[in-house]
A and B are shown apart, each in its own frame.
Chain A
Amino acid sequence: MRLGPGTPAGILAEMADGETNGVIEGGRAGAALAYLGEMSPDLRGAAILAEDGELLAASGRAERWREDAAALFGAADRAEDEPVEQIHIATEQGEVFALRHAGLAAVAVTDRFALASLLFFDMRSILRDLAAGGDGRAGE
Chain B
Amino acid sequence: MAPKPHRVLFERVSGYADEAAAYVRRRRVSRQPFARLYYRGGRAADHAADSAVGGELFVAAGRLIEVAGKRER
Contact = CB atoms under 8 A, between A and B. Distances in A.
Q: How large is the interface on B (under 10, 10 to 19, 20 to 34, 35 or more residues)?
A: 20 to 34
B45 A94 contact: no
B1 interface: no
Contacts of A80: 37, 39, 45
A113 B31 contact: yes
Interface residues of A, number: 39
A46 B20 CA distance: 34
Contacts of B45: 79-80
Contacts of A82: 39-40
A73 B64 CA distance: 12
B38 interface: yes
A89 B39 contact: no
A85 interface: yes
B33 A90 contact: yes
B56 A44 contact: no
B65 to A, nearest CB: 4
A113 B65 CA distance: 14
Given A68-B67, A111-B71, A75 B57 contact: yes
29 contacts: A44-B69, A45-B68, A46-B68, A60-B67, A64-B67, A68-B63, A68-B67, A71-B63, A74-B60, A75-B53, A75-B56, A76-B37, A78-B56, A79-B45, A79-B53, A80-B37, A80-B45, A85-B40, A86-B37, A86-B38, A87-B57, A89-B33, A89-B57, A91-B33, A91-B58, A91-B61, A94-B65, A96-B65, A109-B68
